[in-house]
Amino acid sequence: MLPESIREELRAIVGEKNCLDKQEALVAYSYDATPMQQALPDVVVMPKSTDEVQQVMRVAARHHISVVTRGAGSNLCGGTIPVGGGIVLVLSRMNQIVEIDEQNLTITVQPGVRTVDIHQAVEALGLFYPPDPGSMVISTIGGNIALNSGGLRGLKYGTTKDYVLGLEAVLPNGEVIRTGGKLMKDVAGYDLTKLLVGSEGTLAIITEAILKLIPKPQTQRVMLAMFADMAQAARSVSDIIANRIIPGTLEFLDQGTIRVVEDFKQIGLPTNVAAILLIGQDGEPQTVERDMEQIAAICQKNDAVQIKVATTVEEADEVMTARRSALAALSRMRPTTILEDATVPRAAIAPMVAAIQEITERYGLQICTFGHAGDGNLHPTCMTDARNTEEIERVEHAFEEIFAAAIDLGGTITGEHGVGIVKAPYLEWKVGASGIEIMKGIKHAFDPHNLLNPDKMFAKHSRNRVVVQRA
């Protein structure tokens, strides 16, 4: 509990309405979209400007108060849960698009702008901001940058990190740094822009960002290819890329997901197939046409049971429904849905899916897998019930084995959700002991008093399981 005098200081900075410390507000900012994780802050502060963020940080630094920065709270790694209490700094009131620069093809935004609003604003001008995390209708760009969010277009267009050109950020001591700029080339010193992208709110508070835009692709086409054999689907993915085609979308649903989606939506998917690929291409009409033909031929050669190419917008919508409904369909099965994101090199998708299936069966769980086949980013999704602690323990062991399997196949413990608290115990598997040490050194350089998002990314004790651990 913070003393009244400190809360008074904070109120003086942001105003009465933007400093919340009633029980109801503290409960409402005690969680994000991560299942089973919760911790109460002492106070919630909603600044409206960089200046206010600076002042809040000075108060926090003076009194050694932890600060967890947060936007919409849609992340899945527990990254915005205030495990050590302190201040939750909500940046959603800083939600202005500062400038769209059509000469330089950049957009300058405050961190609280929703990703979908960036899309709409630039697409109206014939421009394009490709990163499209699944939660983009709610997620804010600040969170996307802090977690280096991915999405459906990662294969062809890359992820958030590939579009951040410059940042303004407040350091834990209240100083402001500016990195990068409206520049395509900049090698002046360490690349602090890239360092802050994906730093999960542990190094500095992003208060403004300059993002790169590209011209909007002219056309888009999609198709569904269904396979009786998982290996054939995986081979098609490799063959498409080996044929020098980089699709705009290359998504995957396993048999379990297909069954659940069909049950939920009745869109006529064959429930006996092992895998469905949703493949899309965008760009110049002629190129798109040629690519789609070649992709269809490759899938056919790999014994696709059925190929459905959308010729109209309505058909495209129908085809996309299968992928779009995956999470909704799965989340209706059981009360608790754990959406994970183990990632492997794309050539290893078939063995990874096989490993997930084997682990699922061995632990007697319901885990279905869908995800971004093109970039190897899979979402094994477990349908369970948080109230059943015995089952949750099995879930925990199963995911631990799934992450280990991903590492063994040359992959990683998280492709787009972030480390936060839930992956912290496994980070060392991926980056090694010296990797952890160097990361901790960076953290110390930025934040010597460990004020920003403490206890995230680095586990206090190695291998402590977190799925059932309550803060």
Partner 1 sequence: MLKEALVKKLDYDELSNCMRCGFCQPACPTFQETGYEAASPRGRIALMKAVADGVMEPDKDFVDQMNLCLGCRACEPVCPAGVQYGQLIEQTREAIEEVQEHSWWVKAVRKLAFFHLFPHQKRMYQLGGLLRFYQRSGVKKAVRKLGVLSILPKQMREMEAIIPEASGKGIVDFFGGTVIPAVGERKYRVGMFHGCIMDVLFNETNRNTVRLLSEAGCEVLIAPDQVCCGALHAHSGEREQARHLARKNVAAFHKADVDIIVSNAGGCGAMLQEYDHLLAEDAEWQERAQWFASRVKDISEVLARLVEPKEWQLLPQRITYQSSCHLRNGMKVTKEPVSLLQAIPGATYVQLREGDRCCGSAGIYNLVQPEMAGSLLDVKMGHVAATQADILVTSNPGCLLQMKAGIHRAGLEGKMEAVHIVDLLARVQKEEKPLSTPE
Question: Six-digit token pair at 406?
Answer: 């991903």
- CB 225 to partner 1: min, Å: 25
- Residue 321 touching partner 1 (CB under 8 A): no
Nearest to 43 by CA among 16, 61, 62: 16
Find the binder of partner 1 among 50, 66, 69, 74 (CB under 8 A).
Answer: 74
The residue (of 143 and 201) whose beta carbon lies closer to partner 1 is 143
The pattern of x and - marking residues 337 through 366 that bind partner 1 according to CB under 8 A reads: x-----------------------------
The residue (of 4 and 24) whose beta carbon lies closer to partner 1 is 24
The residue (of 27 and 438) whose beta carbon lies closer to partner 1 is 27
- Residue 177 touching partner 1 (CB under 8 A): no
Find the binder of partner 1 among 22, 185, 244, 461 (CB under 8 A).
Answer: 22
The residue (of 38 and 220) whose beta carbon lies closer to partner 1 is 38
Secondary element (H or E) of residue 123: helix 115-123
Question: Six-digit token pair at 317?
Answer: 């919508």
- Residue 73 touching partner 1 (CB under 8 A): yes
φ/ψ region of 414 (left if φ > 0, alpha if ψ in -120 to 50, else beta) reads beta
Three-state secondary structure call for residue 423 = coil
- CB 21 to partner 1: min, Å: 11
User: Under rule CB under 8 A, which residues in 110-149 are in contact with partner 1?
Assistant: 114, 135, 137-138
Query: In this structure, how many other beta carbons lie within 10 angstroms of the beta carbon of residue 62?
Result: 12
Q: What is the rounded distance in angstroms from the CA atom of residue 262 to the CA atom of residue 255?
A: 10
| Binding segment toward partner 1, per CB under 8 A, in 66-74, 310-318, 364-372, 394-402 | 66-74
Residue 297 makes CB contacts below 8 A (sequence gap 6+) with: none
Find the binder of partner 1 among 3, 15, 27, 358 (CB under 8 A).
Answer: 27
The residues with which 249 forms a beta bridge, in sequence order, are 280
Find the binder of partner 1 among 2, 30, 395, 451 (CB under 8 A).
Answer: 30
* Residue 275, phi then psi, degrees to nearest 5: -155, 150
Contact 403, 441 (CB under 8 A): no
| Binding segment toward partner 1, per CB under 8 A, in 155-163, 236-244, 246-254, 382-390 | 382-390
| Binding segment toward partner 1, per CB under 8 A, in 24-32, 61-69, 315-323, 359-367 | 24-32
Find the binder of partner 1 among 50, 66, 92, 110 (CB under 8 A).
Answer: 92
Q: What is the rounded distance in angstroms from the CA atom of residue 269 to the CA atom of residue 263?
A: 9
The residue (of 164 and 253) whose beta carbon lies closer to partner 1 is 253
Q: What is the rounded distance in angstroms from the CA atom of residue 296 to the CA atom of residue 308?
A: 9
Find the binder of partner 1 among 386, 407, 431, 471 (CB under 8 A).
Answer: 386
Secondary element (H or E) of residue 306: strand 304-309
Secondary element (H or E) of residue 322: helix 313-324
- Residue 448 touching partner 1 (CB under 8 A): no
- Residue 426 touching partner 1 (CB under 8 A): no
Query: In this structure, how many other beta carbons lie within 10 angstroms of the beta carbon of residue 188?
Result: 9
- Residue 50 touching partner 1 (CB under 8 A): no
Query: In this structure, how many other beta carbons lie within 10 angstroms of the beta carbon of residue 241?
Result: 16
Q: Count the residues of the shown chain that bind partner 1, applying the rule CB under 8 A.
A: 36
Question: Six-digit token pair at 445?
Answer: 């350089």
Residues in touch with partner 1 (CB under 8 A): 20, 22-25, 27-35, 38, 46, 72-74, 90, 92-93, 114, 135, 137-138, 327-328, 331-332, 335-337, 385-387
